[in-house]
Amino acid sequence: MKSLFKLVFIATIVFATKLAQADALDSQIKALQIDAPRMKEITGIVATNPDQPTKQIHDEYWGLLLTKIQTDPKLLSMALSSTIPETMGYQKELWKCLELSAHSRSVVRTENLVKYKGHISQSLAKIYQEKEQKMLEAAASEKPYLMGNGQQMIISEDLATAMVEKLNQSEIRLLKLYKPDWK
């Protein structure tokens, strides 16, 4: 899930800065980077906690965002929300491939996984390519996958199915966070 936060956060910054006016872009990017750790933290909290976003977290996120990027909140919301289908789509499709790999006992990559990977940035694609391969091999072989935090995980069909559902719920919460008005 940490890689999901990084992907969503980086995509958020990229899309948000594209909306900024060209003459003020450098100063807005620098200003946003000051608060980037907290914004990344909020994104992670919302993505992983079923009780989020709260109005307080939502207001804090938008307060940080709008003080750093001067643009119409509705346009910014559209840009933020537009990052979700690709970033979450890739993650969900990877877990579907992990489920298929665990079931068939061989590495399975769907056309959709390849399609989604084609839409993420080159730097992130390189990071995920190695991780993806190791995860698929672990699922197919029933051997543990060594996560970045040093813990091992057995990737089973049940785990993969549960992860897709968690990602679906995360997507709903993030879309709510990315709306400028609390409703």
Using one digit for the tens of pLDDT, what is the confidence trace for 12-52? Answer: 555 454 444 433 434 444 455 455 788 889 999 999 999 99
For residue 115, give the nearest of 89, 82, 88, 95 by alpha carbon: 89
Tokens, residue 52: 């989020």
The answer to pTM > 0.85 is no
**CA angle (68 as vertex; 25, 9 as ends), nearest 5:** 90
For residue 177, give the nearest of 36, 41, 47 by alpha carbon: 47
Using one digit for the tens of pLDDT, what is the confidence trace for 149-182? Answer: 899 999 999 999 999 999 999 999 999 999 999 9
For residue 102, give the nearest of 94, 91, 92, 113 by alpha carbon: 94
